[in-house]
Amino acid sequence: MSVKFKKRLFYGCLIIILVLIGVLRFNHLIKREELAHKTNSQSQNISLVYLKMVTKNEGWAIGSDKVYRTIDGGATWEDVTPQGAKEIYTWYFLNSDLAWIVSSRDLKGTLYRTENGGRHWVEEEVPFNLGLLFFTPSEKSYNGWALKNYGPASGSSPVDVYKLINGSWSMIHKGQGPGTTLEKPGTLPYAGYKNGFVFLPDTKTGFVTIEYRELGKYGLYVTRDGGYTWLQSILPIPSEYSDSSIYITAPIFFNDEKESTGILPVWFMNKEGDYSVVFFITHDKGQSWSGAPPFRTKERIISINITDRSHWWVLTESKLYGTRDGGNTWNELHHPKGAVQIQFVTPKVGWALINLDTGTEILHSNNGGVSWKRIF
């Protein structure tokens, strides 16, 4: 090999090395710039109205018609709002990747869907812009339903049920309209505000909960055919609450190979202003219900969180309580002042959403609510 050839080979290798170093430095600068942009965005005050953590590290949030996502346990949040989404009326977060939001533009509903954690959204026009969404996973994809709400009128709201069939939204149930005096069997009533909507993994069993302004009245409707027909279900509510205001929310189900356990929290306020919560339990998909011992408090209830079959939390105006045995005993924990929502993903790991005039704060607990630390 000649000396001249060796020199050419040396300089050629040197040029390649310098180019590679330049590319690496350029990529490093880009990553530093992207990180600085994300970090600086956290210095701005954001206002969140809803928090949904799906793992210890990953979660979603809604605020000021924005969609946010975290991958570090809530310490930083990235704005992943789909382009074009303006007024966000309802949403559903299935896991760290799958999410849906409904935005209203010119009185039309637009459904945005992401399957990669908000990096990319697909939009479609849908026949609803108000109401509730619910999705369940399936082997190849997911199952979806929507409870279309036409808007409350004097405490009542007509609703229709839509189902995702072969990629399109089809109305499968027409609820009763205004002016109806008698309830039609198999039909969701016009009266009352529909505030809860849930389906089980079997895709056949579902529930709608209804709040009424009348004392001692509540609504729980169940479907056994995937949402086509709905029948009223009765809870064994103690007689002491017959003249109380009743607030009912959708049941939460925990499913495994052995059984499906549903927990439905119902809280009551009597004429003296005292509050009680009864957690109703079902092990047969709502065929029968039994109540846990009532939880009682003098303060207004702000938020209830159910993590599993045994671990539940109740947040009031100035106190936080937790149970580890399905409501048989309750312990007072450290209250996160100003909290409007609490959520635990394990019996130990949880968050508290704090809304202040200056923006939102998020507190984190790794001991079941015994102590809290601000992370955002």
9 belongs to a structural domain: no
| 276 and 360, same domain (yes or no) | no
| 277 and 330, same domain (yes or no) | no
pLDDT bucket at 178, cuts 50 / 70 / 90? confident
Residue 289 reports pLDDT greater than 50: yes
| 144 and 271, same domain (yes or no) | yes
97 belongs to a structural domain: no
203 belongs to a structural domain: yes
pLDDT at 153: 66
Q: Which of 272, 261, 266 is nearest to 295 (CA)?
A: 266
| 226 and 333, same domain (yes or no) | no
Task: Compare 41 and 249 and report the one with higher pLDDT.
Answer: 249
| 142 and 194, same domain (yes or no) | yes
Q: What is the mean pLDDT of residues 265-282?
A: 96
Q: What is the mean pLDDT of residues 294-308?
A: 96
Q: What is the mean pLDDT of residues 128-149?
A: 94
How far is the CA of 314 from the CAs of 214, 258, 317, 341, in angstroms?
25, 28, 10, 10
What is the chain's alpha carbon radius of gyration, rounded to the nearest angstrom? 25
Q: What is the mean pLDDT of residues 155-166?
A: 92
CATH number at residue 227: 2.120.10.10
214: number of Cβ within 10 Å: 11
Task: Compare 14 and 144 and report the one with higher pLDDT.
Answer: 144
| 327 and 293, same domain (yes or no) | no
What mean pLDDT, rounded, does the chain reach? 88
205 belongs to a structural domain: yes
Cβ-contact 91, 82 below 8 angstroms: no
pLDDT per residue over 334-346, tens digit each? 999 999 999 999 9
| 237 and 342, same domain (yes or no) | no
Cβ-contact 104, 126 below 8 angstroms: no
Q: How far is CA 102 from the centre of its chain?
A: 14
pLDDT per residue over 66-98, tens digit each? 999 999 999 999 999 999 898 899 999 999 999
122 belongs to a structural domain: no
Q: What are phi and psi of 182, to 5 degrees?
A: -115, 140
Q: What is the mean pLDDT of residues 144-157?
A: 85
Contacts of 161 (CB under 8 A, 6+ apart): 145, 146, 147, 148, 171, 172, 173, 175, 188, 227, 228
Q: Which of 77, 42, 63 is nearest to 341 (CA)?
A: 63
Residue 231 reports pLDDT greater than 70: yes
361: number of Cβ within 10 Å: 17
pLDDT per residue over 302-326, tens digit each? 999 999 999 999 999 999 999 999 9
Q: What is the mean pLDDT of residues 198-216?
A: 96
Task: Pick the range with the lowest mean pLDDT from 19-33, 160-174, 203-217, 221-235.
Answer: 19-33
Evaluate the CA torsion angle 83, 62, 115, 161 in order and state its sign.
Answer: negative
| 189 and 279, same domain (yes or no) | yes
Q: Which of 204, 207, 205 is nearest to 196 (CA)?
A: 207
pLDDT at 114: 98
pLDDT bucket at 151, cuts 50 / 70 / 90? confident
159 belongs to a structural domain: yes
Residue 237 reports pLDDT greater than 60: yes
Final residue belonging to a domain, choices 248, 268, 298? 298
| 197 and 277, same domain (yes or no) | yes
Residue 211 reports pLDDT greater than 60: yes
**Alpha carbon distance 325, 347 (integer Å):** 11
What residue numbers bound the domain in which 369 lies?
312-375
Q: What is the largest CA-CA distance in the chain?
A: 103
Task: Pick the range with the lowest mean pLDDT from 125-134, 180-189, 205-214.
Answer: 180-189
| 317 and 275, same domain (yes or no) | no
- DSSP symbol at 40: H
Q: What is the mean pLDDT of residues 104-126?
A: 91
The total of structural domains in the chain comes to 2
| 171 and 266, same domain (yes or no) | yes
**Alpha carbon distance 28, 123 (integer Å):** 34
Q: Which of 244, 239, 237, 279 is nearest to 261 (CA)?
A: 279
239 belongs to a structural domain: yes
218 belongs to a structural domain: yes
Task: Compare 272 and 10 and report the one with higher pLDDT.
Answer: 272
pLDDT at 30: 29
Q: Which of 214, 172, 169 is nearest to 193 (CA)?
A: 214
pLDDT at 44: 56
